[in-house]
């Protein structure tokens, strides 16, 4: 049977036991009782338990109930269309993919999926999702398929993007996992989007900007390396609990309070929020990254943060604070070059901007040493303790660092 051919037997029952989809090198069929052991084995995976609604811990009786009760009941009631995704030659279980929450009035449904640990890295979930959606549009007459995932589930987001879904926004208080966050991403797929997705893959494949960033933010935040002009080895790593006290000392420094918008007076709770909530949320949402600057002994020297613009995905804003005891050592220019290089190469940025209150010559010297070019003064561009102030504006482009990119 050729790839791309979808088959639906003429003697299909309401339970869906005769529905078969053979497409893109996969066989999708309803679940069978004999699948229980493979389902149990797959759902021992920590990622499946973390990001889906399967019970935790996952027991054999949970797998048996899923394949013998829940799945057939969804087919019979018309509320869902859950498929086992298999290798068409060997019959090996590869994934789960199907429709949940079918709304016949709105002709809409939500797609859900997971991939068995032994089948990952082969595009199974993406291919299965496209196959299920094509079947839903052709055979069930749906006009829309919805995708939802907890913010931070970049693996699921990447599958949705590659399948052609448009990520349309943030759903607050979605349906949080007990160990997750409250907000969710939401997107949708229309019949025309499947063709558009194929055309986009032909042009750019998985290197589309959104898919590229989903891959980046779906992995742990990296550690970057830099070297100061004096030869000191530096690392840019995720913030941790050991940074709390030096952050407090840095943010109580008069120069920090004079030129930044950190709270005044600065409390330890402010540092705890920054380290435990703000920085992880920036990475989880795919909005950028906050790095601690540390020396070769892991001594804290400051923070540098790159924030992707919410209105222009090719532009990011740079911010940093250097600890008083680390100033004048050339740490900041080296850290700025490292984080900007990462932004251009990993995130595909086309421009990184810096703004600072006019008069903050120390910050200006640091970015100019890193290669930023001053572009002018923006009048009343920033707020400083309730007063609008003028700001110097500078920018760095990939060419300024000798980086060739395909951005834009």
pLDDT digits (tens, 9 = 90+) for 11-40: 333 445 579 999 989 999 999 999 999 999
Q: Which of 285, 376, 284, 278 is nearest to 319 (CA)?
A: 278
Contact partners, residue 289, CB within 8 Å, separation at least 6: 221, 279, 282, 283, 305, 306, 339, 342
387-396 vs 351-357, strand pairing mode: antiparallel
- Name the strand (E) or helix (H) holding 255: helix 254-259
pLDDT score of 207: 46
* Residue 215 DSSP SS3: helix
pLDDT score of 321: 98
Q: State the Cα–Cα distance between residues 19 and 30, nearest whole angstrom.
A: 7
Measured between alpha carbons, how far apart are the two ends of the chain, in Å?
40
- Sheet harboring 373-384: ordered strands across? 224-227, 233-238, 288-294, 300-308, 315-322, 351-357, 387-396, 373-384
What fold is seen in the domain 224-401? Aminopeptidase (3.40.630)
Q: State the Cα–Cα distance between residues 276 and 268, nearest whole angstrom.
A: 12
Q: State the Cα–Cα distance between residues 146 and 149, nearest whole angstrom.
A: 10
CA distances from 398 to 40, 341, 348 (A): 48, 8, 10
Q: Is 3.40.640.10 the CATH classification of the domain at 21-217? A: no
CA distances from 1 to 41, 86, 96, 248, 284 (A): 30, 15, 22, 65, 42
Do the two domains 21-217 and 224-401 of this chain adopt the same fold? yes
Contact by Cβ (8 Å): 98, 111: yes
Longest dimension (CA), the chain: 78
Q: Which of 15, 39, 6, 2 is nearest to 132 (CA)?
A: 6
Q: State the Cα–Cα distance between residues 109 and 102, nearest whole angstrom.
A: 4
pLDDT score of 199: 57
Phi and psi dihedrals of 369, rounded to 5?
-65, -30
Residues of the chain with pLDDT under 70: 1-17, 176-177, 196-207, 405-408
Domain boundaries, the chain: 21-217, 224-401
Q: State the Cα–Cα distance between residues 155 and 304, nearest whole angstrom.
A: 26
């Amino acid at each position: 049977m050729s790839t791309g051919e979808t088959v639906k037997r003429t003697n299909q029952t309401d339970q869906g036991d005769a529905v078969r989809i053979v497409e893109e090198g996969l066989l999708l069929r309803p679940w069978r009782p004999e699948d229980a052991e493979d389902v149990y084995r797959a759902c021992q995976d920590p990622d499946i338990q973390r990001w889906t609604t399967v019970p935790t811990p996952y027991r054999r009786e949970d797998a048996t109930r899923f394949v013998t009760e829940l799945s057939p009941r969804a087919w019979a009631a018309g509320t869902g269309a859950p498929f086992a995704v298999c290798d068409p030659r060997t019959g090996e279980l590869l994934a789960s993919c199907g429709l949940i929450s079918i709304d016949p009035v709105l002709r809409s449904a939500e797609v859900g999926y997971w991939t068995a640990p032994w089948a990952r890295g082969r595009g199974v979930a993406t291919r299965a999702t496209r196959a299920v959606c094509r079947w839903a549009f052709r055979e069930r007459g749906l006009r829309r398929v919805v995708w939802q995932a907890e913010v931070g589930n970049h693996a699921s987001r990447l599958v949705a993007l590659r399948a052609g879904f448009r990520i349309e926004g943030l759903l607050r208080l979605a349906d949080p996992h007990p160990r997750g966050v409250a907000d969710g991403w939401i997107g949708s797929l229309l019949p025309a989007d499947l063709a558009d997705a194929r055309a986009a893959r032909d042009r750019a494949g998985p290197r589309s900007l959104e898919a590229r960033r989903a891959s980046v933010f779906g992995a742990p935040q990296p550690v970057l390396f830099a070297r100061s002009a004096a030869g000191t080895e530096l690392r840019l790593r995720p913030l941790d609990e050991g940074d709390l006290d030096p952050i407090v000392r840095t943010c109580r420094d008069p120069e920090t309070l004079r030129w930044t918008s950190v709270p005044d007076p600065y409390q330890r709770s402010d540092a705890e929020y920054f380290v435990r909530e703000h920085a992880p949320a920036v990475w989880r949402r795919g909005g950028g990254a906050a790095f601690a600057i540390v020396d070769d002994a892991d001594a804290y020297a400051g923070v540098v943060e790159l924030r992707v613009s919410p209105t222009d995905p090719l532009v990011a804003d740079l911010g940093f604070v250097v600890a008083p005891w680390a100033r004048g050592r050339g740490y900041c220019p080296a850290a700025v070059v490292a984080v900007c290089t990462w932004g251009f190469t990993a995130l595909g940025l086309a421009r990184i901007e810096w703004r600072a209150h006019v008069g903050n010559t120390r910050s200006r010297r640091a970015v100019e040493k890193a290669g930023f070019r001053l572009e002018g003064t923006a009048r009343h561009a920033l707020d400083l303790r309730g007063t609008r102030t003028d700001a110097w504006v500078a920018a760095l482009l990939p060419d300024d660092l000798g980086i060739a990119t395909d951005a834009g």
